[in-house]
Structure 1
Amino acid sequence: MNSLTTRQKKALETREKLLKTSLDLFNKHGFEHVSVEQITKACNVSKGTFYTHFPSKYDVILEKFKELDNFYSTVEKSIDGNMPASEKILLLYREQMLYLTNIVGKDLLRTVYTAAMTNQVKKDHYLISPQRKIFQILNTYIEEGIKLGEFRKDLQATQMQTIIKRCMRANVYDWLIHNEDFDLVAEMAHFTAVVLNGMKVEATDEVT
């Protein structure tokens, strides 16, 4: 593998500086109150340099946030394929909540959620994109649960997907607006387990 040239190394350093500076400014002043000009001035680079690395200031957040998808792929490989689908979903969410709590943190997530609610973000923003790795994994588990008779068949897979995704966003939002006594991992486990139980086939339903 060829080593990076001096120019390539410089470009990577500039990109990382833009990323870090942008996130620091967003956390300090709020996403909607920070302009690309402020970011570039703080980094002592031109606007053209910024747009070479990031199409928009929201893409700065997404670049950091997308690191989660690599984590989800790792989690998926570690989950026992013989587990019931509902337990796989609970384990996936548990690992996600631990990562958000210990690695991502409230500051960045607040920025992501705030930015998603501004008119500077497209309607089909990354938070709800079906292309996200976690949603693809989730969909696989739901379809598996329906096929194997664990989940009810009177609910469409897409309906179940929507409900379970909302479990995630609702709990994360509550975590962001509560004090430190809100245990995101525990609350997510309890809330999602209750929802999943409502989607399972009742014992009486299995009798034909």
Structure 2
Amino acid sequence: MNKRATKALLTKKKITEAALSLFNEKSFSRVTVDEIIKETNTSKGAFYTHFKSKHDIFLEKFKEIDDYYVNELVDIIAKEGRYADRLEVFLRLQMTYIERDLGWDVIRTIYEVELNTERDSFFLIPDRPLYSILMDIFENGQKNGEFRDDLSTEKMMEICLRTMRGILYDWALRKADFSLVEEHGELFGVMIRGMKK
């Protein structure tokens, strides 16, 4: 990578991190692009080179999260023989990553932004890598005779995603007053048992 490309990546990262910090501090709706530019000591041109709007900063964060799932977790869960075990391990590692690496502020801000009805939510984009990982688990688990066959794989994924969003939304509402890592076992355990044959 040449110096120019490296500098561009660093600028993009600087803008992303500063914007997320401002969103956490003031709330997404109260932060302007001008404030982000001032905080990062960059220009409007630099901002709009990397992002169409401040909402696009969250798209970058989602991509970063999905990249983590693909690059870090897929190989780990593949070591599990049973697909139900792969699902349990994936969800445990996911909640660990969210709690320890992303934190309450980022999750709260993500939900604040994604509940805006003026645009489509990234949560609902069908080709997210997260959804591909879950669909693979449910499809193969069903073929392997581990999961119920009276539920479609799409329905199982929908149940899983709603459970996932529910625990994260509750965690955000409660200002992280419980551990996602500890709580996930009980909640997702009930869900997984309900999907098994």
User: Can you give the 5+ residue segments of structure 1 that lack an aligned partner in the other structure?
Assistant: 202-208
Q: Which aligned pairs between 1:186-201 and structure 2 lie closer than 5 A?
A: 186-201=182-197
Runs of 4+ in 1 over 4 A off after TM superposition: none
Question: Which amino acid is the alignment partner of residue 114 of structure 2?
Answer: A
Q: Which aligned pairs between 1:17-32 and structure 2 lie closer than 5 A?
A: 17-32=14-29
Maintained 8 Å contact 2:104/2:175: no
Alpha-carbon shift at residue 81 of structure 1 (Å): 4.8
For 1:78 and 1:52, locate their aligned partners in 2 and report how far apart those are by CA, in whole Å: 36
Question: Which amino acid is the alignment partner of residue 19 of structure 2?
Answer: S
Q: Which residue of 2 aligns with 1:140?
A: 136
Identical positions, percent: 38
Which structure's CA Rg is the greater one? 1
Maintained 8 Å contact 2:51/2:57: yes
- One of 149, 152, 174 as aligned partner of 1:156: 152
Q: Which residue of 1 aligns with 2:54?
A: 57
Q: Which residue of 1 aligns with 2:97?
A: 99
Q: Secondary structure at the match of 2:45?
A: helix
- One of 97, 110, 128 as aligned partner of 2:108: 110
Q: Using structure 1 for the length normalisation, give the TM-score.
A: 0.85
Structure 1 residues 81, 45: CA separation in 2 closer, same or farther (over 3 Å shift)?
closer
For 1:19 and 1:99, locate their aligned partners in 2 and report how far apart those are by CA, in whole Å: 19
1:184-207 residue CA offsets vs partner (Å, 9 max, x unmatched): 122222111212212222xxxxxx
Alpha-carbon shift at residue 34 of structure 1 (Å): 0.8
For 2:157 and 2:146, locate their aligned partners in 1 and report how far apart those are by CA, in whole Å: 15
RMSD value over aligned CA atoms? 1.9
Q: Which residue of 2 aligns with 1:205?
A: none
Maintained 8 Å contact 1:32/1:118: no
Structure 1 residues 10, 78: CA separation in 2 closer, same or farther (over 3 Å shift)?
closer
Q: Which residue of 2 aligns with 1:166?
A: 162
- One of 42, 47, 55 as aligned partner of 1:45: 42
Q: Using structure 2 for the length normalisation, give the TM-score.
A: 0.90
Question: Which amino acid is the alignment partner of residue 23 of structure 1?
Answer: L
Maintained 8 Å contact 1:18/1:50: yes
1:75-103 residue CA offsets vs partner (Å, 9 max, x unmatched): 11122455222111111000000001111
Q: Which residue of 1 aligns with 2:81?
A: 83
For 1:75 and 1:66, locate their aligned partners in 2 and report how far apart those are by CA, in whole Å: 15
For 1:179 and 1:24, locate their aligned partners in 2 and report how far apart those are by CA, in whole Å: 17
For 2:68 and 2:91, locate their aligned partners in 1 and report how far apart those are by CA, in whole Å: 12
Structure 1 residues 164, 42: CA separation in 2 closer, same or farther (over 3 Å shift)?
same
Question: Which amino acid is the alignment partner of residue 169 of structure 1?
Answer: R
Q: Which residue of 2 aligns with 1:176?
A: 172
Q: Secondary structure at the match of 1:118?
A: coil
For 1:17 and 1:80, locate their aligned partners in 2 and report how far apart those are by CA, in whole Å: 34
